[in-house]
Structure 1
Amino acid sequence: MSETNSSPSPKISSKFVHLHVHSMYSLLNAVPTPKELAQAAKEDGQETLAVTDAGALYGAIDFYKACIKEGIKPIIGLDAFLAPRTRHDKEAQIDKPRARLVLLAKTFLGYQNLIQLVTTSNLEGFYYRPRLDQELIKKHSEGLICIIPSFAGEIALAFKEQDHDKASEKLDWYKGVFGNDCYLEITHHPEIFEHAGIQEKIIKLARTTNTELVAAHDVYYLKKEDRIARETMIKIQSGGVVDTTNDHGIEEDFSFITQAEALEKFSATPDAISNTVKIAEQCNVEIEIGTHWYFPDYKIASGRKPDDELQVTSYAGVAWRGLSLENPEVKTRLDYELEVIKNKGYAGYFLVVGDLLRESRERGILTTIRGSVAGSLTTYVLGITNVDPLEYKLPFERFLNPERPSAPDIDMDYADNRRDEIIEYAKTKYGADKVAQIGTFGTMMARAAVRDVARALGHPYSVGDHIAKLIPLGSQGFPMTIKKALEIETDLAKLYKSDAESREVIDLAKRIEGRVRHIGVHAAGVVIAPAPLSQFVPIQPDSKTGKFVTQYEMKSVGEDGVGLLKFDFLGIKNLSILADAVKRVKKIRGEIIDIEKIPLDDKKTFTMLANGQTMGLFQLNGSGMTAFLKQLKPSTIHDINAMVALYRPGPMESIPQYIERKHNPQLITYLDPRLNTILDRSYGVITYQDDVMAIARILAGYSWL
């Protein structure tokens, strides 16, 4: 896990530090991204910054990395919802949360307590919102600073109800739990009715009870003019129409104020300003990002160490695969791979994956593996993959580069109607509290943002729909943005210039485009931790299935984040279809088909392909592919592999050349004799990424780095 900085923190020269800040991870309630917040702090000379999103830690790691990149010390916090009674009480009209509490992590233990609080508030306390109660707060208070908010804090709410005794009682309880780490927040909002009066009462209570004050300016957007963007996001979530008729000059202001503005606003309470710096100096949490990986706690029955167990089982698997250690090529390759795996410390990972797939085989669940892992002889003899990398000249280094500190990544495909069985097996084996699916965030993409904004502004549906249809679709990995669409789509640019209504929608959509809208479940990603997940990441139940989901998305939870290795459990419909076909053959004809031992040189199959009988064939159907197959007349599995690899934009131009060379070997030429050993099976045509890598190494002298 991560370490706490035990050395004294250097003094901060900033005069004011923002300690109550919301990012876009407050889900349609705040505008700025973590990157924008960190940049704003840097521009104003603020050396540290807190994030306190509403009821969740979704953006904690994203914020942490953004701050580190800008040279800003990050403070991880939470703007928590409080249960009126206990977290277990969920009675209508009574237990909907009203009060809030800001908590900041002083130490790594405090950060872990935030994770525990968020997790339990979701798993046990959710009612409209994830809620904390006094029991939870007291149990997980160590390492935390408590700030009682000026708007929705229990003291402020008591003052609004004219209940001064209740305000005092609540403050006594918080001070009893947090001691000197309990602060009363004050904010400066003269534009909000009766707010100044409440602040005066808070200040008076602080003075009479010897409680520290802390100045804050709740941040929901960076600039004052972004208020309308936040209002629009709120209406997108809740429905209704944004009121654009008011005089915005006197509207509430929750922008990112500068240090100079803060000093002016809180000139009457200089101690509240200096306490922001005092708190910031106390908050020193260091999280290891991308430096360490945590493997599941795989129990080895033999008592061997993981490296030894992997070698023993791999050697045993050689004979199972019909290979021999007497073959120098097999022995040399296997020992080389095992040495790389040992040096990287990844043996445990391979044992875990091997066990999952062994369980699948025993249950009769069809599986396969995709991607670069097919280049590993170790995974082949372990039964993880089903392709002999020696036969197909697949490099191990594309999967696990000995010169790069990258984590292994094995994508496991399962029959989609039985995938959940293996996830449940993992929960049973390692513990339900150690296994969860990875969360993913849905964002407001260009077209959707335009439609949502148009509706929130009260425009007819046709307005947003017309604009959205003018925005081109993006491509995989390259989503379309409104800015880019305006540059490449002339009709959209003309509409923007000529129509004020459309310009209003587009300008506002650009300000909220890309913001997080909701959390969902990653299609395949699962994490398995060596200890309860709540020691690493916050957890919440999926709203649809109730299954555990991490609040950190893939980049934050995995090798580029807190270090939990991702296991991909992909559900593939075609595997379910194949399993059903095998089952039907057995039932109808009494024959048992082993799908992994189907001959790859079956002449009838190649004849069918050459005749264009491809309907329903995975990756080989469709008019374009079928036409090429009829020309090619494939006769080996290598022909099929080549067609699948080449039939895509770019490489598709090489298909006619491949076909010509297959039918006329005299056309086969090599620019360099050394290419013969690389491209012999593809008739001298560069076909695979592996070909390119091999050429770079053999001809150009590149290393794997």
Structure 2
Amino acid sequence: MVERAKTLGYRAIAITDECSFAGIVRAHVAAQAVDIQLLIGSEFRLQEGTRFILIAKNRSGYGYIANLISTARRRAPKGDYYLSHKDFVETESNCIAVWLPNAEALQEIQTKEIAWLKNYFENQVWIGVTQLLINHESRQTHILEQLSQITMTPLVAIGSAHMHISTRRMLRDTIHAIRLKKTIKNSGFDLPPNGENYLRDINTIKNLFSETLIAETLKIANECTFELSALQYEYPKEITPDGISATQHLREITQKGLVWRFPKGTPKKVQSLIDRELKIIHELNYEPYFLTVFDITDYARSQRILFQGRGSAANSAVCYALGITEVDPNRSAMLFERFISKERNEPPDIDVDFENDRREEVIQYIYNKYGRNRAALAAAVVTYRPKSAFRDAGKA
């Protein structure tokens, strides 16, 4: 989608999966590669029937949408979500809302929905207009123009694209049928009526929408400056004793760890590795990360919870001294650059496995010490592989 948008000459593209951020990381990487602005948001359908898209203007807006998604998903069965008007208590100025009309709703209800959105999102609301060449679309557009005047809310063109090219219609229908747990034949009107929800070229867009509606898309793009690259690690400060810097504290506990690991004296080879690693860690300002992981593993050790550090962290003599990993640097060749490299400019990744029966104790310790506003469980995004794709497609 992102690459196709760039090819077509788009200045920006918005990824707004329904109650999900699952696609934004891959979209961000693709957008960076082809140099196109990526707008990040999500679509929501409330229990009362109100549908709208939220797009993050800045980092605070991104956090707001992320919290909405978490709240909605946690209170519903897997694969579903639950949100209602009651979940919106305080006004939010860091997001843009695009109302998605229900063609079958009465004008009075539509007017109330728009008013409700404008109340909570401080008038940063647009009415979304699609042109998918379906029945009664021109009549619907006329109704939306009237609503725009009544509610003093601008209209904006939206693509509602589910595929990058129209020839993907059969694949789109197959995926829809899989989601509905039906065959394509039995899906009927649950499937989109045509193959128009793809990324159109600029000339087609100009023919379908007025200049005013297209201009509003650029206005929204200018308002939304958030990028995923703005998210950086913000390490907790309480991991160091008062009056001691993170650099000093890490060196002290590392040296204590060496005494524990090598009671007869630290080999020169190991001390040389430690000094070199600590220098690089300091240059990249990663001391708080190592101190955080040490704090967690130290808690597990104090509670006799089994754990094992693994992956590229096994190439670190500092991790060995801290008791995070078990690969002895005096007996093994350590390739620290596989773990941390100044050239890659990527934060370290220390993988630690905790025994299954007591993992929850560690999770609760992290929540209790660092707070639920700074700690979270990360979800794995599962995508199709050939075997599962063939199986599900065959059922559809």
TM-score range, shorter chain: 0.7 to 0.9
| Aligned partner of 1:445 among 373, 380, 385 | 385
Instruction: Say if 2:109 is the partner of 1:182.
Output: no
Query: Conserved in 1, the CA contact under 8 Å of 2:39 and 2:224?
Result: yes
Q: Deviations over 1:653-678 (max 9, x none)?
A: xxxxxxxxxxxxxxxxxxxxxxxxxx
**Counterpart-to-counterpart distance in 2, 1:252 and 1:395:** 52
Moved more, 72-81 or 363-372: 363-372
1:51-105: CA deviations, max 9, x gaps?
A: 2111112222322221222121111122111121xxxxxxxxxxxxx43111222
Q: What residue is the counterpart of 1:62 in the other structure?
A: 26
* Residues 1:120 and 2:71 aligned together: yes
Which residue is 1:473 aligned to? Answer: none
Shift of 1:330: 5.0
Partner residue of 1:346 out of 286, 304, 324: 286
Partners of 2:319 and 2:193 lie apart in 1 by 66
- For 2:359 and 2:117, the matched residues in 1 are separated by 47
Give the equivalent residue in structure 2 for 1:216: 158
In the alignment, is the contact (CA less than 8 A) between 1:103 and 1:144 conserved in 2? yes
Counterpart check, 1:39 vs 2:3: yes
Change (3 A) 1:308 1:44: same
Is 1:426 aligned to residue 377 of structure 2?
Answer: no
Listed one character per residue, the Cα deviations across residues 21-64 of structure 1 (whole Å, up to 9, x for unaligned) are xxxxxxxxxxxxxxxx1122122211111121111122223222
Report if the CA contact (8 A) 1:321-1:381 is conserved. Answer: yes
The residue identity in structure 2 corresponding to 1:213 is L
Q: CA RMSD in A?
A: 3.2
Q: Tell me which of 235, 248, 253 is aligned to 2:196.
A: 253
Q: Give the structure 2 partner of residue 276 of structure 1.
A: 217
Cα offsets for 1:95-135 (capped at 9, x unmatched): xxx43111222333322322232233334578984344345
**How far, CA to CA, are the matches of 1:229 and 1:208 in structure 2?**
40
Cα deviation for residue 390 of structure 1 reads: 1.7
**d(CA) in 2 for partners of 1:399, 1:183:** 47
Query: How far has the Cα of 1:242 moved from its partner?
Result: 1.0
Instruction: Indicate conservation of the 8 Å contact 1:47/1:71, yes or no.
Output: no
Which residue is 1:337 aligned to? 277
Q: Is residue 2:182 matched to residue 1:240?
A: yes
Matches of 1:304 and 1:179 in 2, distance apart?
45
Residue pair 1:311, 1:338 contacting (<8 A) in 2 also? yes
Q: Structure 1 residues 302 and 138, CA, compared in 2 at 3 Å: closer, same or farther?
A: closer
Cα 1:121/1:343, change in 2 over 3 Å: same
Q: What SS does structure 2 have at the residue aligned with 1:307?
A: helix
Residue 388 of structure 1 corresponds to which residue in structure 2?
A: 328
Work out whether residues 117 and 140 of structure 1, in 8 Å CA contact, stay in contact via their aligned partners in 2. Answer: no
Given the alignment of the two structures, is residue 101 of structure 1 paired with residue 65 of structure 2, yes or no?
no
Q: 2:43 aligns with which of 79, 88, 100?
A: 79
**Secondary structure of 1:391's aligned partner:** coil
Letter in 1 for 2:14: A
Give the Cα–Cα distance (whole angstroms) in 2 for the partners of residues 127 and 83 of structure 1.
17
The answer as to whether partners of 1:106 and 1:284 remain within 8 angstroms in 2 is: yes
How big is the shift at 1:312?
1.8
Distance 1:347 1:196, change over 3 A: same
- 1:417 aligned partner: 357
**TM-score in terms of structure 1 length:** 0.51
- Shift of the 417–38 alpha-carbon distance from structure 1 to 2, 3 Å rule, reads same
User: Given the two structures, how large is their TM-score scaled by the length of structure 2?
Assistant: 0.86
Distance across 1 between alignment mates of 2:29 and 2:149 = 38
The residue identity in structure 1 corresponding to 2:216 is: N
Aligned length: 394
One-letter amino acid matched to 2:227: E
- Do the aligned partners of 1:298 and 1:352 also contact (CA within 8 Å) in 2? no
Structure 1 vs Structure 2: percent identity of aligned residues? Answer: 26
SS of corresponding position for 2:131: coil
| Structure 1 residue runs without a partner (length 5+) | 1-36, 85-97, 457-705
CA 1:282–1:372 in 2, change beyond 3 Å: closer, same or farther?
closer
Matched, 1:355 2:295: yes
Secondary structure of 2:324's counterpart equals: coil
Q: Structure 1 residue 370: deviation in Å?
A: 3.1
Letter in 1 for 2:100: P
**Alpha carbons of structure 1 residues 43 and 422: separation in structure 2 relative to 1, 3 Å:** same
Distance 1:301 1:372 in 2: 29
List runs of 5+ in structure 2 lacking aligned partners: none
User: What whole-Å deviation, never above 9, does each CA across 1:486-544 have from its counterpart, x for those lacking one?
Assistant: xxxxxxxxxxxxxxxxxxxxxxxxxxxxxxxxxxxxxxxxxxxxxxxxxxxxxxxxxxx
Greater radius of gyration (CA): 1
The answer as to 2:152 corresponding to 1:201 is no
Q: Give CA-to-partner distance per residue, 1:534-592, whole Å, 9 cap, x none.
A: xxxxxxxxxxxxxxxxxxxxxxxxxxxxxxxxxxxxxxxxxxxxxxxxxxxxxxxxxxx
1:49 aligns with 2:4: no
